[in-house]
Amino acid sequence: MDKPAVSLFFGAGAEVGYGLPSGGQFALDLFRIPVDQDKTDFKDQLKALDNTSAYVSKWLPDDYLKKRIHVFGKSDYEGIIASSLEYRKDDILAYLEQLDQHVLRLLRAWDVSEDHIRRIFRDETSLELGQILYGQAVKLNSRLAESVGLFNSVFFSAWLKLLELHPEQTHLQHGVRAILELLVGACGQRLVAKLNEEVFESAPDKLSVFDDLSGIFSLNYHSVGQTGMDIVLGEPAQPVTEENTPVEIMTALCRTVLEDIYSRTLDYQALVDSHFRYLYNPKAHWARFTRIAIFLRTVRRYISSSDAHLMERLAAGPGYYHDLSGLSSLADIASVGTTNYNGFARELVHQEFPSIPVYYLNGCVEEYYDPYCNLILEQPTAEELAAYPRLLVPLIFTQSGIKPLTSITMSRRYVELYDRFEQSDIIAIIGYGFNGDDGHINGLFRSLAEAGKRLSIFHYGHESLSVLKSEYQTKLRLSSSDNLDIFTVDSSRNVAGEPWWKALLEKYQYMQPVLTPRT
């Protein structure tokens, strides 16, 4: 029997086991990292340009060397909050409704055990954790929400009880306030959206005057979500141990939960998109041009510094990229695609399989972009970068709606990967969340599924397969889930006790001897 052709697609989750941050943690870190070095490097690049060239004379503004270099900062928090509440409000509310489950998940890998937290709360309050709930004592305005599960949360009620006993604990108070701001902000955004859509419940279609009054309500984002942004993007979290006081431990837990909420719901796509267009026209808005140019440099530097620190660990493994050695003994690996930005996928795959193409769909730290010529430079040398006559920015697309709107090189990349997927017997997707800001990639997979190709999605966790199948069907906007196969994988990259790649091949009866497919 011929070996099956397998194509693989890796998202950020595939590299978490190597020690790299998840996509959400990555987003938070981008707004924490100092940017002084990137500003200096950008100024040096500007100085290196030939100021007598037509390119500089026509494309850059007058006195560009004397102009201030702008960066994203605290003044942009309001825009990030607005975008997060507008596009992720349902995710925020869902998280808060299931707050206790999320806290228990975090405690499984936290500095202090759940048992110790229960013990210190009992010692501090003379109450068992969960013995007091605020669901009857606190009621949100019914216009915002009919019911709110947050106030029946065991852990949120514990924080409120500690605040009653220790009103002077400002750090805990700020953490609780930040969570309440997200609750009120998400509910308020939902109400505002409903009001703007239904200012008039009915009106004649022929009278457009009624449409002119839509969209008149808005939320004051300055008062919503800012407290949480200040906390998670401000001073780094301090480690805690069982030696800390009960209030210190519970305050640290509240901060950990808050950071987890933001890492899952932070949306800066609108911020990036509103600036990216100015890469093509710096004269139109120099401040926005420099902000996005510096931001892309910061992203590259952050990823590259992580790469250097983790390279030794990555080289040794284990991890998904190293597992390809086992997979290759029973299958032909046709292609590898990734949304990750570092060069690990290409480097580790090519160490053993130099002929397998690796496609970076969201750019890579080894690639640069010339916005003036809409040109991508793939793996240029240091000498080539130093001699390049125009401004370059790293080709790294984080949350952005303009990802596919780049050069012919990037367009070909998508088409080639699609063709290789279409020609493969098996398509395996690992560590990729099908998030909304990757709609262009989701569309690629949707087209494959609608054309009859089966998608094997590896999901970290132990949720119900039927529930997961429905969720991924919704994310992919498919009319049917028939062509989706879901595998739940653990932290050891195993599915039901065996390596993920063996489970994949068994599912499709490619193991010898032929096995009965799983249902």
Helix/strand/coil for 452:
coil
Cα–Cα distance for residue pair 256/102, rounded to 1 Å:
11
φ/ψ of residue 68, rounded to 5:
-70, 145
Q: Which residues of 58-68 are buried (b: 16+ CB within 10 A; e: fewer)?
A: ebbeeebeebe
pLDDT value at residue 459: 95
| C-alpha dist (Å) from residue 27 to 194, 195, 269 | 29, 32, 11
122 Cβ contact partners less than 8 Å away, ≥ 6 residues apart: 128, 129
Cα–Cα distance for residue pair 440/403, rounded to 1 Å:
8
Tens digit of each residue's pLDDT (9 = 90 or more) over 441-468: 899 999 999 999 999 999 998 889 999 9
Cα–Cα distance for residue pair 217/212, rounded to 1 Å:
13
| pLDDT in 10s for each residue of the chain, 519 residues | 578 999 999 998 888 777 776 666 777 888 888 899 999 999 999 999 999 999 999 999 999 999 999 998 877 877 888 888 888 899 999 999 999 999 999 999 899 999 999 999 999 999 999 999 999 999 998 888 878 899 999 999 999 999 999 999 999 999 999 999 999 999 988 888 888 877 777 778 777 777 777 677 777 777 787 888 888 888 778 889 999 999 999 999 999 999 999 888 888 877 888 888 899 999 999 999 999 999 999 989 888 876 666 666 666 678 899 899 999 999 999 999 998 888 888 888 888 899 999 999 888 888 999 999 988 898 899 999 999 999 999 988 765 555 445 578 888 888 999 999 999 999 999 999 898 778 888 999 999 999 999 999 999 988 899 999 999 999 999 999 999 999 999 989 999 999 999 999 998 875 444 434 444
pLDDT value at residue 318: 84
What is the distance of C-alpha 229 from the center of its chain?
A: 16
- From the list 172, 160, 184, 157, the residue with the least C-alpha distance to 254 is 172
pLDDT value at residue 311: 67
Q: Does the predicted model carry a pTM greater than 0.75?
A: yes
pLDDT value at residue 357: 94
pLDDT value at residue 308: 61
Cα–Cα distance for residue pair 426/448, rounded to 1 Å:
11
For residue 412, give the DSSP letter.
Answer: H
pLDDT value at residue 35: 92
pLDDT value at residue 514: 41
- From the list 137, 80, 145, 60, the residue with the least C-alpha distance to 372 is 60
| C-alpha dist (Å) from residue 402 to 8, 115, 277, 444 | 24, 47, 9, 16
Tens digit of each residue's pLDDT (9 = 90 or more) over 215-262: 777 777 777 878 888 888 887 788 899 999 999 999 999 999 999 998
232's tokens: 């998670």
pLDDT value at residue 87: 84
